[in-house]
Amino acid sequence: MTGCANNMAYKDRRYRTRDKDCHCCGNNVPFCWTCRCGFKMCQVCMEENQWGMTCNGITWQCPDCGKQNGFGNQ
């Protein structure tokens, strides 16, 4: 039964709450759009700044590193 204790520790590590502070407004929110470089933006800030971050509504460009990220709608 010692293996069960290790599984619980793994699950705790796997599902721990992660830091979700928006880099734009600084609020701690339940969901952030996240780039692979670590840049995070909440939904409200994304809606406010979407005009300058996307051309097609399918991908958005990270303002920090310039990489393209998907909105997950395609």
Listed range (41-45, 62-66, 68-72) with the worst mean pLDDT: 68-72
Q: What is the pLDDT of residue 73?
A: 72
Domain regions of the chain by residue span: 2-70
**Which 3 state secondary structure label does DSSP give 10?**
helix
Q: Which residue has the tokens 């759009």?
A: 33
Is residue 38 pLDDT above 60, yes or no? Answer: yes
What CATH number has the domain spanning 2-70? Answer: 3.30.40
Per-residue pLDDT tens digits for 3-29: 555 566 666 666 555 668 999 999 999
E strand residue ranges, 13-73: 32-34, 40-42, 59-61, 68-70
Is residue 39 pLDDT above 80, yes or no? Answer: yes
